Amino acid sequence: MPERTRYIAANWKMHKTVAEAAEFVDALLPRIAATQSDVVLCPPFTALNEVVQRRYGTAVKVAAQNMHEEESGAFTGEVSAAMLVELDVEAVVLGHSERRQYFNETDEALVRKVPVALAAGLEPILCVGESEAARDAGETEEVLERQLQADLAGVESLDLARVVIAYEPIWAIGTGRTASPEQAQEACAYIRDVVRMRGGVADELRVLYGGSVKPGNAAELLALPDVDGALVGGAALDAEDFAAIVEAS
């Protein structure tokens, strides 16, 4: 089985000004100099350039938190793949549950966004995950399969392993309630199975867990066989905490 490089991403959401982002990067870099993992910072659009500039010469990658599927046009407030690539951004978070919930991010948009990102040379970090009601109703796998089939429908089988998939149960995001190791392992293994069924090179696919990952629970989650990394929100706002999570990977 191929060795999958660990992938630890910091999703800052709507946090950090340019000055705060700069301070974070300067504090983080010396702390993670020895890591073998892929470390990815996802600042808000306004801080992308600052983070890109400060990480040059290191292995740290930079991701945007969203992207529009069209090349250009009358889409006030949106940003295209080419605009991100021009800044030397390498990846983009797509389909985060907050975007699905508050900004009407739909599967119809995502089915176009994922291949557009790949074609532009951006690594998509596609987020999927069930609500608490869906989990309670025993529909977790159904929800995950539906989202994956819908959002990845425009991606060729051979390209599926170029997508990073983050399993983020909505009930665990920002709540302090982490999925149990059994729940995280089961869901991440299932995601890999769905990609395998779609004809993807599932052994190479990176599947992340996200939802209240902290320095104290990261090692246990990252040791699970099908969890290849983490998408970290709250604990990624502090350089020391995020460095501790990178160290646990």
Task: Count CB-CB contacts under 10 A for residue 223.
Answer: 12
127 near 94, Cβ under 8 Å? yes
Among 50, 69, 90, 96, the one annotated catalytic? 96
Least Å from the CB of residue 241 to ligand PGA: 10
Beta carbon nearer to ligand PGA, 51 or 235: 235
Least Å from the CB of residue 16 to ligand PGA: 14
Beta carbon nearer to ligand PGA, 80 or 234: 234
SS3 222: helix
Write out the two tokens for 239: 């350089």
Beta carbon nearer to ligand PGA, 80 or 213: 213
With CB atoms as reference, the residue minimizing the distance to ligand PGA is 233
Write out the two tokens for 16: 């950090």
Q: Exposed (0-12), middle (13-18) or buried (19+): which is 220, by Cβ within 10 Å?
A: middle
Closest Cα partner for 24 from 9, 2, 43?
A: 43
Beta carbon nearer to ligand PGA, 13 or 198: 13
Beta carbon nearer to ligand PGA, 67 or 173: 173
Active site residue 168: yes
Write out the residues near ligand PGA by the rule CB under 6 A: 11, 168, 173-174, 210-213, 231-235
Token pair 């020391």 in the structure block, residue: 240
| Residue 6 backbone zone (phi > 0: left; psi -120 to 50: alpha; other: beta) | beta
Least Å from the CB of residue 180 to ligand PGA: 15
Closest Cα partner for 174 from 247, 233, 98?
A: 233
Among 69, 98, 123, 168, the one annotated catalytic? 168
Active site residue 186: no
User: Hey, which bits of 15-141 come out as E strands?
Assistant: 38-42, 61-64, 91-94, 123-128
Give the type of residue at 107: D
The one-character DSSP state at 159 is G
Least Å from the CB of residue 184 to ligand PGA: 13
Token pair 């995280």 in the structure block, residue: 184
The one-character DSSP state at 248 is T
Least Å from the CB of residue 163 to ligand PGA: 16
* Catalytic residue numbers, as ranges: 96, 168
